[in-house]
Structure 1
Amino acid sequence: MGGTDAGPGRGGVLPGAVRGGLAVTAVLAALVVVALGVRYGGDGAPGRVDARVWGLTGGPGPSWRAFAEAVDFLGEPVGAAALVLGTATGCLLLRRPRAAVLVVAGTGAAVAATTLLKPAVGRTIHGGHLAFPSGHTGFLTAYALVVALLVAGRLGLGRPAGLSLVLAAGTAAGAVMGWAQIVLDAHYPTDVLGGWATALAVVPATAWAVDRVAGTGPRTGR
């Protein structure tokens, strides 16, 4: 069935080559979220790890702060919506509707998870603002993971290359947004770690669910 999401390298949005590795990663990431949530649940102050990381970042200059604000905008409703809708539209123009669904569902799942976890954990910053896990970090990490999954599937990458691409993209995006949140004093560093881990936990599961609903199993790894 050509022209939609079928054909070489497009048997599903979760390539079989990376399925096992991402399943393990998702479980470990979920455990990290739970451990951090238990450790910092109900807290309203930075922990020792947070204080040490803040000490390493120092005070950013005006140009770095401006860059951090630009990165932060990508996690705001307008910026995030533009990023997701633009990418989903591109997938539809390429006649890949299932990919478009993953772009929306994968990022949406990460946002929903971080939103639901915040009141459950109850960690606060700046006098009552719920902080754990970082929704901005979770969103951009999820977006990068989704795009990397689609690229890995499109190129038909094998297990080492595909998994390396997906994890590197998610880590890079999480690091950049996490740095911005720390520099802008919007989150504790451990909130950022929690947001990154949340995305790593939910995106593979969402991709698997999209394939299951569409009736397409992952391709066999090389």
Structure 2
Amino acid sequence: MRGGLGLTAVVAALVVVALGVLYTDAGRPGSVDARILAAVEGVGPRARDVALATDFLGEPLGAAALVAAVVTGCLLLRRPRAAVLVVAGVGIAVVTTRLLKHLVGRTIHGDENLSYPSGHTAFLTALVLVVTLLATGRTGLGRTAGTALVLLVALVAGVAMGWAQVVLGAHYPTDALGGWFTALAVIPATAWAVDRVADSVRRKAG
């Protein structure tokens, strides 16, 4: 799947940059944002409860619990390289969104609330992407089917968290889209880097 996901990472990075340039220093929703915001406006209390629960997964406590659970699973399965990828991939995705927020300068609900891209969306997408990559690798699926499955699951995670962020008014829809693409750009690159470092260490040890 490296070839397909490598190309996906390049395209995703270009989309993140393009959206960042488009919304640099913006403080209001774009036309696409406005249409989506109008569609989700006035959701009921149950939907907001679901959104809050989903949002918690991207908060420090919820995110730490998710990462710890996945890392523990990797270690129990004796896959330390996978555990490193979880921590490094998710960490780099979150740090990247924070750096981009300051570079782009898009705000929501005031000048101090930087919004592009969504860190919550990037986090959950990145974590689910790594888990699905690891699971797909063990199933022996072919390149096309495996890549399609990975991207589909990542899309579901991104839509779920992005929806929650929009419903709660924490982000514009295009912020969530930027977060999703950030994860797609970061994880394949991080996986490649982790493989290169691990292979280099193994050769030196051998």
Query: What residue number does 1:24 align with?
Result: 7
1:205 aligns with 2:189: yes
Query: What residue number does 2:204 align with?
Result: none
* Aligned-CA RMSD value: 0.9
Residue 125 of structure 2, aligned match among 135, 138, 141: 141
Cα offsets for 1:119-177 (capped at 9, x unmatched)? 00000011120000000000000011100100111112111221011101111100000
| Equivalent position SS for 1:111 | helix
1:173 aligns with 2:157: yes
Q: Which amino acid aligns with 2:141?
A: L
Alignment of 1:1-222 (within 5 A): 18-128=1-111, 129-215=113-199
Q: How many residues of Structure 1 are paired with residues of Structure 2 in the alignment?
A: 199
| Equivalent position SS for 1:215 | helix
Post-superposition shift, 1:36?
Answer: 0.5
| Equivalent position SS for 1:125 | coil
Query: What residue number does 1:13 align with?
Result: none
Post-superposition shift, 1:75?
Answer: 0.4
Cα distance in 2 for residues equivalent to 1:68 and 1:21: 32
TM-score, normalised on structure 2? 0.95
Query: What residue number does 1:5 align with?
Result: none
Post-superposition shift, 1:59?
Answer: 1.5
| Equivalent position SS for 1:123 | coil
TM-score, normalised on structure 1? 0.88
Cα distance in 1 for residues equivalent to 2:126 and 2:43: 26
Cα offsets for 1:20-49 (capped at 9, x unmatched)? 110111111111101100000001111111
Cα offsets for 1:29-76 (capped at 9, x unmatched)? 111101100000001111111101111223111111000000000000
| Equivalent position SS for 1:130 | coil
Q: Which amino acid aligns with 2:189?
A: A
Cα distance in 1 for residues equivalent to 2:88 and 2:141: 23
Q: Which runs of 5+ in 2 are unaligned?
A: 201-206
Segments of 4+ in structure 1 off by > 3 A? Answer: none
| Equivalent position SS for 2:170 | coil
Which is further off, 168-177 or 49-58?
49-58
Query: What residue number does 1:219 align with?
Result: none
Cα distance in 2 for residues equivalent to 1:162 and 1:171: 14
